[in-house]
Amino acid sequence: MKTISITNDIIPIAVVYKKSFLDSVGRGIADADTGSTYSTEEIKTALTARRSKG
């Protein structure tokens, strides 16, 4: 199992990724609860602009 060191603690990488994922889900749920969301059209426009920048 691969591990990383964070302030002298050895933590399995899978645990770090799992925590990062769960934190991201939590932020998404909080955004949805407060109405901080984008429409499908806004997302498509932003992705198109980002892709055209290369």
- What's the pLDDT tens digit per position in 7-28? 666 678 888 889 999 999 999 9
Domain span at residue 43 reads 3-53
Instruction: Output the pTM of the full model.
Output: 0.58
Instruction: Provide φ and ψ at 10, rounded to 5°.
Output: -90, 120
Domain count across the chain? 1
Number of residues assigned to the chain: 54
- What's the pLDDT tens digit per position in 25-48? 999 999 999 999 999 999 999 999
Amino acid at position 19, single letter: K
End-to-end CA gap in the chain: 36
CB 11 within 8 A of CB 3: yes
